[in-house]
Amino acid sequence: MSSMQSICLGINYRTTPVELRERLAFAGGKVPQAVEEIRRLPGFAESVVISTCNRVELYAAHSHEHSETAHKALLDYLIQHFQLQPEQAEALVCYCLAAEETARHLFQVVSGLDSMVLGETEIFGQVKQAYKVALGAGTTGRELNRLFQRAFNVGKLVRETTAIQRGSTSVGAVAVDLAGKLFDLKTCRVMLIGAGEMARVCAQSLLSRGAKSVIVSNRSYERAVELAAEFNGTALTFDQWEHSLHEVDIIISSTSAPHFVVKPEMIEKAMHSRRGHYLFLIDIAVPRDIDPAVNDIEDVYLYDIDTLSEIAEEGRRERTRQLTLCNRIIEEQLEKFGRASAYPSSGDAPSHSTP
Element (H, E) at 171: helix 171-182
Judge whether 61 and 4 are in contact, CB under 8 Å: yes
For another protein, the closer of residues 61 and 281 by Cβ is 281
Angle at 139 between CA 43 and CA 3, to 5 degrees: 40
Specify whether the CB–CB gap between 158 and 326 falls below 8 A.
Answer: yes
Active-site residue, from 53, 94, 188, 326: 53
Q: Is 148 helix (H, G, I), strand (E, B) or coil?
A: helix
Establish whether 53 is a catalytic residue: yes
Nearest to another protein of 221, 278 (CB atom): 278
Please report, for residues 5, 147, 170, the alpha-carbon distance to residue 45 in angstroms, rounded to integers and kept in the order given.
10, 14, 42
Applying CB under 8 A, which residues contact another protein? Answer: 160-163, 166-167, 174, 177-178, 180-184, 275-276, 278, 295, 298-299, 301, 303, 307, 311, 314, 318, 322
Q: What are phi and psi of 109, to 5 degrees?
A: -65, -50
For residue 280, the minimal CB distance to another protein (Å) is 9
User: Is the CB of 122 or the CB of 184 nearer to another protein?
Assistant: 184
Report the C-alpha gap between 140 and 133 in whole angstroms. 10
**Smallest distance from another protein to CB 168, Å:** 9
- Closest distance to another protein from the beta carbon of 138 (Å): 37
What is the closest distance, in whole angstroms, from the C-beta atom of residue 305 to another protein in the complex? 13
Q: What is the sign of the dihedral through the CA atoms of 111, 117, 118 and 119?
A: negative
Virtual torsion, Cα 103, 22, 41, 74, nearest 10 deg:
-50
CA atoms within 13 A on the CB side of 213: 6
**CA within 13 Å, CB half, 21:** 17
CA gap 253, 199 in Å, rounded:
7
Question: Minimum Å distance from CB 111 to another protein?
Answer: 15
**Least distance to another protein from the beta carbon of 183, Å?**
6
User: Which of 185, 219, 187 shows the shortest CA–CA distance to 202?
Assistant: 185
**Catalytic positions, written as ranges:** 53
